[in-house]
Amino acid sequence: MRILILGAGAVGLTVAAMLSEHAEVYAVCRKRYADAISADGFVMTGIWGEKTCRFPCGESAPAGSWDYIIISTKSAATREICEKYHHLFGDAEIVSLQNGIGNEEIIGEYTSHVIGAMIITGFEWRGDNAVFVSVDGGKTMFGRFPKGTDDAARKLSVLFNASGIRSDVSSDIKSVVWSKAFYSCSLNPLGAVMECPYGELRKAPAWNIITNIVSEAFAISKAEGVELPQKSASAYLDFLMQEKIPPTAKHYSSMYQDIISGRLTEVDYMNGAIVKLGRKHGIATPVNEMMVNLTHFKEELR
């Protein structure tokens, strides 16, 4: 199986390292990562094991056809990466291995072969050729976007499992992607602005804010016709409190890590997407809008 990973950073390079033992993988990444990996290999630490891996990577994609092309940029770069590489898409299945709302729709402007995915594992940079895998919040999910499942999604999931990444398929991947986006909307900006791990957000003042974020987001999912696995805002809040926060209670959100490392956050593709859809449907989303503004303010203060 030939797999191209476009915009490989913390997620994409680690996934490349894992898959490369079971498939032919090439990662397109920035020159400084490619140089460091070529010189010293890619160093993985954390819950997926400690190892130094070698796999081909570089600034541009080699010629040839691919079975899967995995996009693992931040959401802000999805369109740019599609513009730059859509000539390689051919019959390949194009997979969005990203957080946020709207990536699959952008990819869908360039191909009819879109696979949606949801990954809830933590990846933290430890140098130009090193990533620490920090937490595991559940299986990585794949499915034909927006709905349905087929051999292409199943084969990819089988490869991930064989490579040591717990995975499954969903026949409603859009719903799974939105459910993860609600998790990110709830925990990431608040954790970034308050500089605290997820577990602290269970305290009443934070939980009051999260309750409003989730209620507004649910009104938007209803208006968009996206049915989440959790049928109501209160069911979602229970799921967050009981199932999702405990395994990642000590984790500092990737948005917090983006801010302290001087990178722009993806808040515009999380709470910002809820605000934008709220305007489209005439639904007020003041708490999500506040989180967008606070996060951008925090970005400017660093």
Ligand X SMILES: CC(C)(CO)C(=O)C(=O)O
The residues that touch ligand NAI, with contacts defined as CB under 6 A, are 7, 9-12, 28-30, 72-75, 77, 80-81, 84, 98-100, 119, 122-123, 254, 266
* Binds 285: which of ligand X, ligand NAI, none (CB < 5-8 Å by kind): none
Q: Does 189 bind ligand X (CB under 6 A)?
A: no
Q: Does 137 bind ligand X (CB under 6 A)?
A: yes
242-279 burial code (b ≥16 CB/10 A, e <16):
eebbeebeebbbbbbbbbeeebebbbbbbbbbbbbbbe
Q: Does 253 bind ligand X (CB under 6 A)?
A: yes
**H helix runs in the chain, sequence order:** 10-19, 31-40, 78-85, 103-107, 151-162, 173-194, 204-224, 233-239, 254-260, 271-281, 286-301
> Cβ of residue 42: shortest distance to ligand NAI, in angstroms?
13
* Binds 174: which of ligand NAI, ligand X, none (CB < 5-8 Å by kind): none
Q: Which residue is nearest to ligand X (CB)?
A: 122
**Burial of 146 (C-beta count, 10 Å sphere; 0-12/13-18/19+):** middle
> Cβ of residue 266: shortest distance to ligand X, in angstroms?
9
Q: List binders of ligand X among 103-122 (CB under 6 A).
A: 120-122
Separation between Cα atoms, residue 140 and residue 274, nearest integer Å: 23
* Binds 96: which of ligand X, ligand NAI, none (CB < 5-8 Å by kind): none
Separation between Cα atoms, residue 42 and residue 14, nearest integer Å: 8
* Binds 135: which of ligand NAI, ligand X, none (CB < 5-8 Å by kind): ligand X
Q: How do 24-28 and 51-53 pair as beta strands? A: unpaired
> Cβ of residue 155: shortest distance to ligand NAI, in angstroms?
22
Binding residues vs ligand X (CB under 6 A): 120-122, 135, 137, 184, 188, 248, 251, 253-254
